[in-house]
Amino acid sequence: MAETFTARIWVMDNDIDTDIVIPTEYLALKTVQDMTPYAFSPLRPELAVQIQPGDVIVAGSNFGCGSSREQAPEVIKALGIRAVIAGSFARIFYRNAINNGLLLIECPALRGDVSDGDEVTVEVGKSITCKGKTYPIGALPDNLLDIINAGGLVKAMRRRNGLEG
Amino acid sequence: MGMTLAEKIIASAAGVESVRPGDIHTVELDLLMSNDGTTHLTIDMYHKLRHPHIADVNKLVWIVDHNMPSDSPKTAASQKKMRDFAKENGIPFYEGKGVCHQIMMENHVRPGQLIFGADSHTCAYGALGAFGTGVGCTDYLYAMVTGKSWVLVPESLKFNLTGKLNHGVTARDLILTIIGRIGANGANYKAMEFSGEGLKTLTMSDRIAVCNLCVEAGAKTALMEADEVALDYLSSRGRTPKAVFHADEDAAYAQTYEVNLSEIVPVVAKPHFVDQVVPAAECLGTHIDEAFLGSCNNGRIEDLRAAAAILKGRKVADTVRFLVVPASGEIYRQALEEGLLTTFMEAGAIVMNANCSVCWGSCQGVIGEGETLISTGTRNFKGRAGHPGSFVYLASAETVTASAIAGEITTADRLPKREG
């Protein structure tokens, strides 16, 4: 069953690196929740407080390039971001996001057509609709979708091993 | 159809005859490196497992290098967690001995291995013919517990090197030029394989610099065949290869690039992206406040020698802090014995302990609003070295040193002649 949701979007450019997502100086904070006010701060210091749970980020190509810091997808998840839609993702970030249960969607055509505050409707694995226009998207392999739906790799392993419901 | 170097190593680690790009394979990992950037997170997750277990403790290497020595009670606590866990479980552990990738090259990496590192610059290990790739702490945990992981076989890009670098031009200029040409995601998900006659002219130090930076083009890994230069280095360090693979003549590459080393010139990557590469000549006169020589990319003895040769008989500009950070304790000691550290100190440079330092942008040499750094570090992202309103230029050891002397961006051949 394809899952469908509608969300408000925040638009970002190409090459959003993980130092932008969460700068090094805040990695020493005790919890990922403590880091959330500083997410994206080098680029848009006001953004973290504006993001509401359920919102979606729409970005250009190479989202998540740079450092392997797993706090980057974690902090995005902790802000309540429902999904990141980008032209493409850097590979370490891609694995880290899946492993933390953060939904990533590749859709190169969307970024140029939208701005902050627009609404998108996402039918996971099928399409994105925004302002009356529909964009086809690819389906994630089942094993990756299982990990995302379980909330991350560790939870998926435990579920698979019958350790939790 | 033949296989590329990346395909051969994955096939070997997966225990299969052959693999193709796009296949997903479960692989046995040879080494698992982790540093103080994220190890505390791995440990927290490990303790939440119902049946915590380490598949093979001798495959792990844990290294404290990012905030070394610790710069706050918070980092001290996270390092203590790492240190205590390593001791309790008998994990090979380094602290204060240098940057993780340099320590791995000096002491652990062997040709033919498949290595995960919880650090993006793990692709450096390709200089010794090993498949090194960066992962996050969850992938690391999975591999630590099971000894295995899954990999998607990447497509390979071939870089056929010809010619020889001219005097004053470095491997750093070469790899920055390549990244500038293919872009920051030009090799995303792909393996970058370097070969050709030109490769033979590159030293081990050069090769590490080239492979190390490939993640800045998005590469999953970087690979060079372990030839005589690599095997001599390996045996000088008392190690033997796991396996020496050669790419097949009929291996398939997504793209082949011809790179004539003699055409490379000194370059800089301008703020705020590693692929914003221009000839250094186009940035002459740009004022700098700080210069950094170090990191896993350019903190080796060859870099320090080149810098000291330029500095001898000259002074660092009054307006510049020049931080010199050997990449490992061994290099530090060698530089001391060769008298290089004296040259640095007499010229007014600040010599620091071996660690990630300015490149990590958190514990040493952090720059303030409006300040400009020229660096041999790995990245120049906005805010990478400190304040979001600061600027980082990336360049070779030679260009960084020359700029530290001039107080503005310049190249070594443009410096005024020494006095006397």
pLDDT in tens, B214-247: 999 999 999 999 999 999 999 999 999 999 999 9
Over chain B, what is the mean pLDDT? Answer: 97
Half-sphere exposure of B255 (CA within 13 A, CB side): 9
Cβ distance A95 to B120 less than 8 Å, yes or no, reads no
CA distance B135 to chain A (A): 6
- Which residues of chain A from 67 to 96 reach within 8 Å of chain B, CB to CB? 67-71, 73, 88, 90-92, 95-96
According to the model, what pLDDT value does residue A2 have?
Answer: 63
pLDDT one-digit tens code per residue, A32-54: 999 999 999 999 999 999 999 99
CA distance A142 to B189: 20
CA distance A108 to chain B (A): 14
Is A43 part of the contact surface with chain B (CB cutoff 8 Å)? yes
Q: What is the pLDDT of residue A154?
A: 84
Residues of A with Cβ-Cβ distance to B38 under 8 angstroms: 68-71
Q: Which residue of A has its CA nearest to B137?
A: A70
CB contact under 8 A, B383 and A28: no
Q: Give me the sheet containing B114-117, strands edge to edge.
A: B93-95, B60-64, B31-35, B114-117, B131-134
Residue B270 confidence (pLDDT): 98
Which among B34, B381, B391 is the top mutation candidate for probing chain A, defined by the most A β-carbons within 10 Å of its own β-carbon? B381
List the domains of chain A with CATH numbers: 4-139 (3.20.19.10)
Closest CA to B120 of A8, A156, A148, A96: A96
Is it the case that residue A165 has pLDDT exceeding 70? no
For A31, name the nearest residue in chain B, comparing CA atoms only: B41
Scanning the structure block, which residue is given the tokens 């990319």?
B297
Identify the band that residue B187 occupies on the pLDDT scale cut at 50, 70 and 90: very high
- Grouping H, G, I as helix, E, B as strand and the rest as coil, residue B158 is strand
In a mutagenesis test of the B interface, which of A24, A46, A77 is the best target, namely the one with the most B β-carbons within 10 Å? A24
CB contact under 8 A, A17 and B381: yes
Mean pLDDT score, B294-314: 98
Decide if pLDDT at B359 tops 70.
yes
Per-residue confidence band for A162, with pLDDT thresholds at 50, 70 and 90: low
- Going from N- to C-terminal start, the domains of chain B cover 5-262, 268-414
At B75-134, the pLDDT tens digits run: 999 999 999 999 999 999 999 999 999 999 999 999 999 999 999 999 999 999 999 999
What is the ipTM, given to two decimal places?
0.92
pLDDT score, position A156: 84
Section B302-314 average pLDDT: 98
pLDDT beyond 50 at B192: yes
CB contact at 8 A, B324 and B293:
yes
Give the CATH fold of the B268-414 domain. Answer: Aconitase; domain 3 (3.30.499)
Calculate how close chain B gets to A86, using CA atoms only, in Å: 13
Length of chain A measured in residues: 165
Task: Show which of residues 186-245 on chain B sit within 8 Å of chain A, judged by CB atoms.
Answer: 188-189, 215, 218, 220
First to last CA, chain A: 20
Measured CA angle at B35 (ends B30, B37), to 5 deg: 135
Report the range of poorest mean pLDDT among A152-156, B168-172, B206-210, B412-416: A152-156
pLDDT at A146: 87
Top pLDDT among B1 and B368 is at: B368
Q: Read out DSSP for B346-375?
A: HTT-EE--SS-GGGTTSSSS-B-TT-EEEE
Please say if the pLDDT value at position A144 is more than 90.
no
Q: B185 and A41: CB-CB below 8 Å?
A: no
Helix (H, G, I), strand (E, B) or coil at B84: helix
- Outline where B251-294 has alpha helix (H): none
Mutant choice from B115, B137, B295 vs A, greatest count of A C-beta within 10 A: B137
Instruction: Report domain B5-262's class.
Output: alpha beta
Average pLDDT over residues B393-420: 94
Share of chain B above pLDDT 90, in %: 97
B134/A68 touch (CB, cutoff 8 Å), yes or no: yes
| CB < 8 Å to B49, chain A | 154
- What pLDDT shows up at residue B420? 57
| Residues of chain A contacting B48 with CB distance shorter than 8 Å | 154
Is pLDDT above 50 for B137? yes
- Chain A contact present for B119, CB below 8 A: yes
Which of these, B115, B141, B137, B108, lies nearest to B27 by C-alpha position? B115
Averaged over B63-78, what is the pLDDT? 94
Residue B240 Cα distances to B109, B110, B232, B244, B245, angstroms: 10, 7, 10, 10, 14
The answer to whether domain B5-262 and domain B268-414 are alike in fold is yes
Each residue's pLDDT tens digit, A96-108: 999 999 999 999 9
* Antiparallel, parallel or unpaired: β B221-224 and B350-351: unpaired
- Pair B219, B186: CB distance under 8 Å: no
Chain A environment of B381 (Cβ under 8 Å): 17, 19-20, 66
